[in-house]
Chain A
Amino acid sequence: MTLDWSILWQFRQALWSGLLTTLWISAIGIIGSTLIGVTVGCLGSLPSLLLRRLTGSYVELLRNLPMIVKLFFLYFVAGLPAIAAALLALSLHQSAYIADVTRAGIRSIARGQVDAALSLGHGWPQVFRYVLLPQVLRVVMPPMTTQYVAVVKNSAVVALIAVQDLTFETQQINVETFRGFEAATAATVLYILVALAVIGTMTWLQPRAVRR
């Protein structure tokens, strides 16, 4: 068996466009899932039974269903265009995990701290800004990194509904040329690079976010 790496160079345009698609789908997925997830997580931390039940069920329902089921539902049953279905499925899927991370972050802070700050005469915005946020960020950022990397990796599922992402393009190399190992290597290396970029960004952000 001889490996022919030039095949990857030959398909560089396809790989590049697949990589770009994966990048922007992941980026929107990360933003979307953070917005939804943090909102749901905060709502779930409020002292209301109904809100707790609603957000709790949201998390359980979305977290316990595989991404492919959501994708299929949005694309085939709800009839969204492929890209919209992909972005929404990705955002919804990870938002469940992020809501949980947020809720756990808020829960990790002793109630007494908030009460103490309030009784000292600080307003809610100040309490949130100087007491809650720094501590929550400290607890939440490492698991958020995991979630963001998961968004990148879960984005591979969109190839199932004919979105031409990195997975789709590497599979295309495989089925066209039968260079399975070369295609798998390209997929592995490129996904690792994207994941490392996400991890690197978060590692860079973490001390800056916590210190302020």
Chain B
Amino acid sequence: MRAFLLLAVFVGSILLLAVPARADPTLQTVLKRNQFIAGIVADSPPSAYVDAQGHIVGYCADVARYLAKRLGVGLQFVQVTAASRVPLLQTGRIDAEVSVTTPNKVRNEVVDFAYSYIFDNGVLVVREGSSTNLKDYMNADKVIGATQGNGFVDRWKLLSPSAKFKLFQDESDVVVALKNKDVDGYVVGNFAARRFAKSGGLAITGPWATSPDAIMVRQDDSKWRNWLDWALQRMWAEGTLQKLYVKWYGFEPDFSLGDGGQLQPRVTEIAKDNDPWHDLPAGFLDKLLGDQSYSLD
């Protein structure tokens, strides 16, 4: 009886939830609200993380700062987690997730993605002294560690269908498990791998896959997604995106933005509708590319 009551209340709240979210295009909402609410998973330097003073920093954060300025609105970061990002997006609590989410088809059934703006090379982190030949790890004997939801896991499964995984929540926990011999290899992006290798006792294999990351938006919201795609391409055309890449990752992007690595022709033409494109204030770019871009918030 009690259980029944409980479930009834619960099902009721679910039904309420199933009411379709507001159909307002996000671009209009953002302009009306005069604020861009960017969800960010701040757990992966140098893409997105929290510095020692609590500022949200990283490549993704700087891209969000640029986008807000071009929209001519303020910026608010909302820290999201793997579990909360999609519900937050679907219920309109965040306008986009500006993080390192890897698009795939099944995810695309639920959300949409802008053009990929990061390409990370997947490597295998292993213990120092063990084989750095990837083939030695593509079997059922070796235990592969990774974080739950990491895009490289699916790719590794394609190469090694019998692979055994141990999936953790935090990157640093996988590293400790690796050092403790609880897993034999850690599939992760090159950026994170280099960082962890500095802690010693580890070796990194050559790249074996490339995984794109993209800004995530609500489904069926094409005007907003279009604008983000245009904005990223214009950022690329003026060279700002590449400079941010160098600032955070230390090298020029080893990919080209856009369809097949080409920008859309005439992407820099500003449309009359649905295309806010404010001039950047003097000194903005210098600040964005400098050490203290968080002071722009």
Q: Which residues of A contact B (CB under 8 A)?
A: 1-3, 76, 79, 82, 159-162, 168, 171-172, 174-181, 183-185, 188-189, 192-193, 196
Contacts and interface: CB of A to CB of B under 8 A. Distances in A.
Contact of B167 (A3, A168, A180, A185): A168
Q: Using C-beta atoms within 8 Å of the partner chain, give the interface range for chain B.
A: 35 or more
A180 B83 contact: yes
A160 B83 contact: no
A171 B83 contact: yes
Given A2-B18, A172-B148, 13 more contacts: A1-B20, A1-B90, A76-B176, A161-B173, A171-B148, A177-B109, A179-B110, A180-B83, A184-B87, A189-B7, A189-B10, A192-B3, A192-B7
A1 B90 CA distance: 6
A184 B10 CA distance: 12
B182 interface: yes
Per DSSP, chain A at the interface is helix
20 contacts: A1-B21, A161-B173, A162-B167, A162-B168, A171-B148, A174-B83, A177-B106, A177-B109, A177-B110, A178-B86, A178-B109, A178-B110, A180-B83, A180-B84, A180-B86, A181-B17, A181-B87, A185-B10, A188-B10, A189-B7
Given A1-B91, A160-B169, A181-B90, A175 B84 contact: no
B6 interface: yes
For B83, B109, B149, B173, the residue with the greatest tally of chain A CB atoms inside 10 Å of its CB is: B83
B168 to A, nearest CB: 5
Chain B interface main SS type: mixed
**Nearest 4 pairs of A and B residues by beta carbon:** A175-B149, A162-B166, A178-B110, A180-B86
Contacts of B91: 1
A36 B297 CA distance: 53
A178 B107 contact: yes
B237 interface: no
Nearest to A185: B14
Contacts of A184: 83, 87
Contacts of A168: 148, 167
Contacts of B7: 189, 192
B177 interface: yes
Contacts of A188: 10
Most buried by B among A168, A178, A189: A178
Interface string B85-103: 1110011000000000000
Contacts of B6: 192, 196
A167 to B, nearest CB: 10
Interface string B199-237: 000000000000000000000000000000000000000
A208 B109 CA distance: 53
A188 B85 CA distance: 18
Nearest to A171: B148
Nearest to A188: B10
Nearest to A172: B148
Contacts of A196: 2-3, 6
Contacts of B84: 180
A160 B172 CA distance: 12
Given A82-B182, A188-B10, A196-B2, A178 B111 contact: yes
